């Protein structure tokens, strides 16, 4: 009887560990997939960067204000 209780407890512990591991993995992955951002290409030097970090001039994007100014 004692052996059966031990077995049930062991299964419950393993299940709890696996479940918490799966939850923590899901939490880790969430921020990466939450906000996929457009990548744009600097018209001057060709470097790729996120749209939010780029300097836009009409339809064209630049990696820095220097390259934006050089293109004008």
> Which residues are at the interface with Zn ion (CB under 5 A)?
42, 44-45, 63, 67
Cβ-contact 61, 52 below 8 angstroms: no
**Between residues 40 and 63, which has the closer beta carbon with respect to Zn ion?**
63
Task: Using alpha carbons, select from 16, 18, 72 the residue that is nearest to residue 43.
Answer: 72
Q: How far is the CB of 46 from Zn ion (least distance, A)?
A: 7
Length of the chain, please?
A: 72
Q: How far is the CB of 43 from Zn ion (least distance, A)?
A: 8
**Between residues 40 and 67, which has the closer beta carbon with respect to Zn ion?**
67
């Amino acid at each position: 009887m004692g052996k059966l209780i031990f077995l049930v407890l062991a299964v419950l512990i393993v299940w709890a560990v696996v479940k918490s591991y799966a939850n923590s993995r899901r939490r880790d992955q969430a921020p990466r997939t939450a906000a996929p951002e457009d990548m744009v290409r600097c018209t001057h030097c060709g470097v790729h960067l996120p749209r939010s970090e780029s300097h836009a001039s009409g339809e064209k994007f630049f990696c820095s204000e220097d390259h934006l100014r050089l293109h004008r």
